[in-house]
Structure 1
Amino acid sequence: MKFEIVEFLQRYRQYLLYVVSFIVFFLSFQSNFFKAAGPSFYVSLNDSESLVVLSILNASSNQPSRGLGLYTSPLSIGDIYGAFSDKKSNIITLPYPSQFGLQGHLFSALHRIFNFNDIQYYRAINSFILAGLLALIVSAVVFELGIFAAFGMVFSIVASPWITIFAKNLYWMTWTWILPLVVVLLLYNPMVQRFLNQRRLIYFYAFAIFIKCLCGYEYVSTVVIMSSIPLLYKAIRDNVSLKRLFVDGALLFVVALVSFLAAVVLHSLVRADTPIHGFYDTFIRGSQMSTGFVASAVYPGLDKFVDMSAWSVLRNYVVNWGTPPVAFFTVSFPFIVALHVLAAVNLTTRTSRKSLALGVCFFYSALAPISWFVLFKVHSAIHGHMNYVLWFSPFLVIGWMVLFFSLASNHNSEKDCFAQSNKLGDL
């Protein structure tokens, strides 16, 4: 009997790992099962989510869907959520112009079908999709790097107050940040390639970036860099030429850029009376506002944020954490990063290509959050109450993977710590 159980676990371990990690993630995101975030944490994101709630309320009054709503009556955020629960739809709203608002269209359509009066049902959709995508990544990590690295990934996510509060939010649609990364992972999966060739998967990647941009341009540089990490890992592990790495990386970047521009064009068509005015308001004025070129001229109150240097903004996100990066331990962000750096350096000095690839990817992943902090410093300066989540996209997540993997392999042979598969494509 014992042998049969062991044989069953070995045969179906991939599916069992997926199911277990999915359940852990879903409980963490939907119900804060591990108490990683306090109630006050969620309040900081209510102002953005209320835009989607207003869009749903607009749909309740049988008005045509117009993306996201921006309330014009003197209501508090609590009043908006209360109106949703009470099924009141007499709130005067105006369209939110800063993005296409795909999430508003999506949840408005779902509300017309199901008419739930509890917003948690709609939030559960986001929790479900994000948990499913992350569980796929966990499965890939287990069979490429072993259980210790996968445990580090799961720990970093469920112990993060920031991921916990963002995961189910109707506005942020966090799963759209992860989808491009998952598509790139699938690019190297022979089982997937039996049904979808690489060209079609590139189309899926373009669609994933397009969907992300339609749900908001926030953090798009982070999302693109994050999605390229599997490409870099495979290149180092398989010792491919720099030319091939550059060509593949350039392809991802060009596809992402085209998808971004396609989203801007679609947004422009619905934002203004003419496509030219819409493009100017969406792309030119929007980028100028986020980077600080004209923000102070349009909104004088933003002077103090515009005048901040990129270094000051970045420093703020390094040393001025209001809450611990890890929910269950009172440790500072610099201390955690120092541990991760030491572990990554340890990996890069080994002979194994996998160790080298993982260590290099950790350092490369720092570019994902830093790109947004620096390139869009005004947005980062204004949103200092929430942009800390970018450190988990995926710098700190990979950091914990590196730390757990390094510690485990120091006490065991690398053969035991690595997964049975020698190729990411064998997943």
Structure 2
Amino acid sequence: MNKIKTISLYFVLALILSYTYFNNPIDKRNYEFATFEAVSEALAIGPIVAEHAGISPLEKGYGLGYYHENTGDTTSYWTDTLSLYEGDTGYLTNKDFQDGYALSGKQLAFSANLYTRNTYTPGNEFLFWDGSRVCITAVKEQDFVLYVSVDTQKKLTREANGSLSDIRVFDAEGRELSRGIFSEYPSQIGLQGRIFRKLARIFPYGSAVTWLHLLTAIAMSLVVVSISWQLYKKYGWLMAAVFFAVFWLSPWIVQFARNLYWVEFTWFLPMLFGLWCSNYINNRKRIFIGSVGVFLSVFLKSACGYEYITTVMLGAILFLLADLGMALLVEKDREKFRRVFACLFMVGIAALLGFMLAIVIHASIRGEGNITEGIRSIYMNNFKERAWGGDPSAFPESERASLEASVFEVLQKYFQIDTHLIVGVSGKLFSILIGVSFLLPVCILCYKRKNQKGFRMEAEEVFLLLSAFMTSISWFVLGKAHSFIHTHLNFVMWYFGFIQLLFYVPVRSSIDLGKVLVKKWKNKEVIRGR
């Protein structure tokens, strides 16, 4: 394939994926696509909204957080961030209130959020659009609504006093208070929030998030096409095509692809660089470049969140593990085994160093310069909550079951998939595909070995399946508590090569069987012709 055709194909495939990841034009059953994980994405949008409102979002150094302000959105603790960005700040209207103003004229209703709870306190004063000034006398919270009573002789209405979104707040000494609060998210560095905040300045504020969705979708498409290209060079067109198709048609992959919090492309960058190293196992220079890529990409992923980090890091060595098994047990090539092991070790160390660098930077922020204290805080407040070791009685009741659950209970949840594996293929076939994909190459391998025929391809498939399986379940095991709760998210872990291989093995075996049958039929025709 010449360079022009290769580049053209690369960009056509990237365009197809970008359009799919940005718009979801194929899977009409994926109803959640437009609002998928909005609660998490609001953390990445928060800094953009805060900066637009003139509030510094980086006081302590974290890049993610919710922005809270005077708004009427009472849906949840985080939705006011999105409603402020979208300009949808409608206030309570029912039989007792109109646009946030009580019909009695002496009470106002706002969203109960971090800002209003801390700022709208008795003794502080409101200054309305028309110049009227009233003092807060009492505050009551109920169902995410903050009811604020004020001392006024006149009846307050929207028509007379203007929209509640225009009010200003002063303390008892007459000093004007901030119009909003940025609530930082300390569970990670939040690098994506920093980057998106800077990129958002390039675009019009009202469409910035849409442009960022597009850029994130394009980034994911470029990573997927690059992985497919490396697979083509290593295993041939069929493996590359199957991986591409699954990445294209999986509802799980598509949902995460453009999300500004999850930045899915960062999950698969280490896999790309690890596959690169596997393809150039005899080239030390390229292995070094690939290892640097693994280091940087694992750091990037960790700086954007620790979720799924075990699977992401194992994804970097997935194909190298299969190569190692082949060199040791099938090819019995000591020199190749030594080279693969050295490469795997180098890539593994690079991944660990990338992760450790992110931890150190995060710990420095968390501990306010004291790295040791920061690491202790991360371990106590993040690791124990998401993985192992947490005392159930020390956590909210909603999280206790996840800490008490066994690994078996967690794994059991993830072998029952209610969604489609890819568009048109039910998740109920998952267990069947696992059985077929493991049994097929094993049975063919045993048959060929007995008849003294080559079985390299089947052995390689077994090693790949085992490696991909371990990669996928690593987060279910090591991130046990997180996986127990987040079943609406974590099924995506199966797409780190495992589900792709579950489709590839039966397809490849069927094609080979078809070739054998055609060949036999042709031989019979030749014999008959004689």
What CA distance in whole angstroms lies between the structure 1 residues aligned with 2:380 and 2:444?
43
Q: Give deviations 1:63-109, integer Å, cap 9, x for gaps.
A: 25441003567554554323223399955331101100001001011
Q: Give deviations 1:256-299, integer Å, cap 9, x for gaps.
A: 22221111110011123332221111234422221242252432
Distance 1:326 1:282, change over 3 A: same
Per the alignment, residue 248 of structure 2 pairs with: 158
Amino acid at match of 2:387: T
**Are 1:387 and 2:490 counterparts?**
yes
**Are 1:216 and 2:313 counterparts?**
no
Per the alignment, residue 462 of structure 2 pairs with: 359
Q: Give deviations 1:313-364, integer Å, cap 9, x for gaps.
A: 1101112x33232331335121232333234435655625344223311121
1:167-246 correspondence runs (5 A):
167-188=257-278, 197-235=286-324, 239=331, 240-241=333-334, 242-246=337-341
Per the alignment, residue 362 of structure 2 pairs with: 267
Q: More relative contact order in 1 or in 2 (CA 8 Å, sep 6+)? A: 1
Higher mean C-alpha deviation, range 238-247 or range 133-142: 238-247
What CA distance in whole angstroms lies between the structure 2 residues aligned with 1:202 and 1:396?
26
What CA distance in whole angstroms lies between the structure 2 residues aligned with 1:102 and 1:199?
25
Per the alignment, residue 421 of structure 1 pairs with: none
Per the alignment, residue 373 of structure 1 pairs with: 476
Q: Is the 8 A contact 1:36 1:164 kept in 2?
A: no
What CA distance in whole angstroms lies between the structure 2 residues aligned with 1:13 and 1:358?
30
Question: Please, which of 64, 70, 80 is the counterpart of residue 68 of structure 1?
Answer: 64
Q: Is the 8 A contact 1:184 1:228 kept in 2?
A: yes
Deviation at 1:10, TM superposition (A): 6.5
Say which SS state the counterpart of residue 97 (structure 1) adopts.
coil
Deviation at 1:188, TM superposition (A): 4.7
- Structure 1, unpaired ranges of 5+: 1-8, 417-427
Q: Is the 8 A contact 1:152 1:397 kept in 2?
A: yes
Say which SS state the counterpart of residue 172 (structure 1) adopts.
coil
Deviation at 1:184, TM superposition (A): 1.9
Question: Please, which of 422, 435, 439 is the counterpart of residue 326 of structure 1?
Answer: 422
How well do the aligned residues superpose, as a CA RMSD in angstroms? 2.9
What CA distance in whole angstroms lies between the structure 1 residues aligned with 2:182 and 2:17?
35
Question: Please, which of 497, 510, 523 is the counterpart of residue 407 of structure 1?
Answer: 510
- Structure 2, unpaired ranges of 5+: 90-177, 449-453, 520-530
1:43-62 correspondence runs (5 A):
43-62=35-54
Distance 1:144 1:247, change over 3 A: closer
Question: Please, which of 373, 397, 400 is the counterpart of residue 303 of structure 1?
Answer: 400
Amino acid at match of 2:273: V
Amino acid at match of 1:362: L
TM-score of the aligned structures, taking structure 1 as reference length: 0.85
What CA distance in whole angstroms lies between the structure 2 residues aligned with 1:335 and 1:121?
41
Say which SS state the counterpart of residue 48 (structure 2) adopts.
helix
Say which SS state the counterpart of residue 217 (structure 1) adopts.
coil
What CA distance in whole angstroms lies between the structure 2 residues aligned with 1:388 and 1:200?
32
* Higher radius of gyration, 1 or 2: 2
Higher mean C-alpha deviation, range 339-348 or range 133-142: 339-348
1:1-80 correspondence runs (5 A):
12-35=4-27, 38-62=30-54, 63-65=56-58, 66-71=62-67, 76=76, 77-80=78-81
What CA distance in whole angstroms lies between the structure 1 residues aligned with 2:293 and 2:262?
21
Q: Which has the higher helix share?
A: 1
Distance 1:224 1:411, change over 3 A: same
Deviation at 1:192, TM superposition (A): 12
Question: Which 4+ stretches in 1 moved above 6 angstroms?
Answer: 191-194
Deviation at 1:154, TM superposition (A): 2.2
What CA distance in whole angstroms lies between the structure 2 residues aligned with 1:355 and 1:140?
20
Q: Is the 8 A contact 1:138 1:154 kept in 2?
A: yes
Higher mean C-alpha deviation, range 22-31 or range 89-98: 89-98
Amino acid at match of 1:313: V
Distance 1:225 1:42, change over 3 A: farther
What CA distance in whole angstroms lies between the structure 1 residues aligned with 2:217 and 2:503?
22
Distance 1:317 1:72, change over 3 A: farther
Q: Is the 8 A contact 2:387 2:480 kept in 1?
A: yes
Per the alignment, residue 312 of structure 1 pairs with: 409
Question: Please, which of 436, 448, 452 is the counterpart of residue 339 of structure 1?
Answer: 436
What CA distance in whole angstroms lies between the structure 1 residues aligned with 2:9 and 2:504?
17
What CA distance in whole angstroms lies between the structure 2 residues aligned with 1:36 and 1:362?
31
Per the alignment, residue 125 of structure 1 pairs with: 215
Distance 1:383 1:188, change over 3 A: closer
